[in-house]
A and B are shown apart, each in its own frame.
Chain A
Amino acid sequence: MNSTATSPEASRPLLTLKGIEKRFSLSGDFLEQLQFKGGKLVRHQEHVHAINGVDLDIQRGEALCVVGESGCGKSTVARTVMGLITPSAGEVHYDGERIDNLSTKQLLPYRRRMQMIFQNPYASLNPRMTIQQTLEEPIRLHHPDWSNQAVKDKVSEVMTSVGISADWGPRYGHEFSGGQRQRIAIARALAVDPEFIVADEPISALDVSIQAQVLNLLMEAQQRSNLTYLFITHDLAVVEHFGTRVAVMYLGRVCEVAPTATLFSRPRHPYTQALMSAIPRLEDDRPQHIRLEGEVPTPVNLPSGCVFHGRCPHADERCRQEIPALIATDDGGQVACHAVEEGRIG
């Protein structure tokens, strides 16, 4: 963690999430919510609890990876940070300012500082726009005073920086391969010189051989312009290679945050331990997987207490009653587990 910094600006986290919750209604509009129960008309609402109380700090210059299985709310966190989704509760602070309640117009200065890279490069480029138009758009929006030549120079500069030829501008997105499209999408994000990039599974739709190229491109960009990443992934190998810190999510909650090396060498949370044991290793001829019982509970009816208690081998009565909060551990991480707090497990 960034404890060596001296000025308050540098030690302040770039992005802070405070108790973010997001519920999606399953019940449709008001009329559809009305139901007869026992002869009485009642309003019945059901929600998917995509994220329930996520607290995260992202420090300047780090690459925070968020991992977890499908449906645990990783992407919802990313979209909430970018303001694509308004949280049901909680606050998003960027560089000390609250941003989740700002209007589109008020957000504009922040848009320049934070950008996003999407999962599917086949859908993230407008099929009716040329690459040149796609890349010029953010620059013209955020620098309305720039001359045409300055905009064009900037476009060819970012195109070169992501390894695509500046001559390809007049082409359309569908003329490129997946890896090339993802480079273009990265170029679009970099075009406004952001300091913070949210990457929502940016390589999971690509071939393995291309994944490494794109990952290296992201790391080069980070070194060149001191970027901060919020990197959503479910690929633990990528995390080990890319992340400074890792946040593990389960059923809409963060169960453990730790520096990458610490997390991989000594996972504390029972879920993280199970997750780590599932990584296939070459030297494993007798794998020691931790087998979890049962299924992930539905996010519609959340379990009481710790969301993991139904599958946790160490769960006791307190776990079934009380929701664990993130507590700092001795090795620089945070973990949300009663058993770790009480010292029942290492």
Chain B
Amino acid sequence: MTTLTTRQTSRWERFRDSYLLYSFKRDLIAQVSLLVFILLVGAALLAPWLAPMNPYDLAQINILASELPPFWVDGSDPMYLMGTDAQGRDLLSTILYGLRVSLIIGFGAVAMQATLGVCFGLLAGYLGGRVDAFLMRLADIQLSFSTLMVAIIVGALFKAIFGGATFSDYAVPLLVLIIGLAEWPQYARTVRASVLAEKGKEYVDAARVMGLPSRRIMFRHILPNTLSPIFVISTVQVANAIISEAALSFLGLGMPETQPSLGSLIKSGFDYLQSGSWWITLIPGLVLVVLVLVINLLGDWLRDVLNPRLYKG
């Protein structure tokens, strides 16, 4: 028999030699996207320290300084780099805080979708039969409603029942819940398809012959082998969730104006677009576009790298 070198490789060494890193080093778009993404996330996380003002603190808001343009336009105030919105909040600070809200909702909703979708997809794919039929019909029904429609109905109902004040208090978890519940079938279908492909392989039979319980086979054996597609759709879904939240906020069913997300900022500025205060809508809109774009570009790159037809991992 051939002798193998018995040097143990650490996780870091394996990562360093991996195809993932290799292709990343060769892909300028992926590098720039990741850089921009990290900058945006970093800025959002550090908002309380980076932002010149706290937009949630009413004492810092000066209503007389409302609708000031950004610094490169005549009539700007050097105190407000990106100008101010209709309430006199510093736009830069509000965008940083809003970015944070948007990202929290985006990642929270995706975590929720992934948890539900992965569990349902695993169950449907592994158990098959009636469980599969039931869960997949449920997913079909869910998909036949658009996310926005579900969100609008649930949001409107919640507002009507508990009132606007309660809605404002629970807006973030509620939006996470709504967007998470509306989009789980994306995960469930992808995971189910991968599980069906993996289930027929002999290592799953070997695990069954060993006598392992189904739960362990599903989560310990099959799930790690379906991670690549989950990873790829997660990036797309984060972008989708952020857009859904922005759309909902734009319709007035998302974040309240007192703790604005990017979407509700765009909406609040929209009313002033006609009166010449374009920056209140345009600048947060630009940030939103850049955020979603870099996430999607990263997702595209990841999909190309993890595509088993291009590379067997």
Contact = CB atoms under 8 A, between A and B. Distances in A.
Given A165-B6, A175-B4, A107 B202 contact: no
Contact of B206 (A105, A124, A164): A124
A104 B6 contact: no
Contacts of A79: 205
Contacts of B203: 123-127
Interface in A95-150: 104-105, 107-108, 111-112, 115-116, 118-120, 123-129, 137-138, 141-142
A167 interface: yes
A108 B224 CA distance: 25
Contact of B212 (A118, A141, A175, A177): A141
Contact of B8 (A124, A126, A170, A192): A170
Interface in B211-240: 211-214, 221, 224-225
A203 to B, nearest CB: 15
Q: How large is the interface on B (under 10, 10 to 19, 20 to 34, 35 or more residues)?
A: 20 to 34
Contacts of B133: 29
A188 interface: yes
A343 B68 CA distance: 110
B6 A167 contact: yes
Contact of B1 (A83, A84, A163): A163
B211 A123 contact: no
B221 A126 contact: yes
Given A123-B201, A126-B203, A116 B214 contact: no
A242 B213 CA distance: 34
A118 B206 contact: yes
B225 A137 contact: no
Contacts of B6: 165, 167-168
A185 interface: yes
Contacts of A164: 1
B212 A124 contact: no
Given A124-B203, A126-B221, A137 B4 contact: no
Nearest to A112: B211
Contacts of A120: 202
Contacts of A105: 213
A180 interface: yes
B209 A82 contact: yes
Interface residues of A, number: 41
Contact of A128 (B4, B206, B213, B224): B224
B265 to A, nearest CB: 43
A291 interface: no
B2 interface: yes
B209 A123 contact: no
Contacts of A241: none
Contact of A116 (B4, B206, B221): B206
B137 interface: no
Contacts of B221: 126, 129
Interface in A172-194: 175, 177, 179-180, 185, 188, 192
A168 B4 contact: yes
A171 interface: yes
B59 interface: no
B165 interface: no
Nearest to B129: A29
B2 A177 contact: yes
Contacts of B208: 84
Contact of B211 (A29, A104, A118): A104
A120 to B, nearest CB: 6
A307 to B, nearest CB: 28
B210 A138 contact: yes
Interface in B107-149: 133
Nearest to A119: B202
A31 to B, nearest CB: 11
B135 to A, nearest CB: 15
B1 A128 contact: no
A128 B210 contact: no
Contact of A137 (B8, B212, B224): B212
Given A104-B211, A165-B6, A170-B8, 5 more contacts: A105-B213, A119-B202, A125-B203, A163-B1, A171-B4
19 contacts: A105-B213, A108-B211, A111-B209, A111-B210, A115-B210, A118-B206, A123-B201, A123-B202, A125-B206, A126-B221, A129-B221, A137-B207, A141-B210, A141-B212, A167-B6, A168-B6, A170-B9, A171-B4, A188-B210
Interface of A: 29, 79, 82-84, 104-105, 107-108, 111-112, 115-116, 118-120, 123-129, 137-138, 141-142, 163-165, 167-168, 170-171, 175, 177, 179-180, 185, 188, 192
Interface of B: 1-2, 4, 6, 8-9, 133, 201-203, 205-214, 221, 224-225
Q: A-B pairs with the 3 shortest C-beta distances?
A: A111-B211, A124-B202, A128-B224
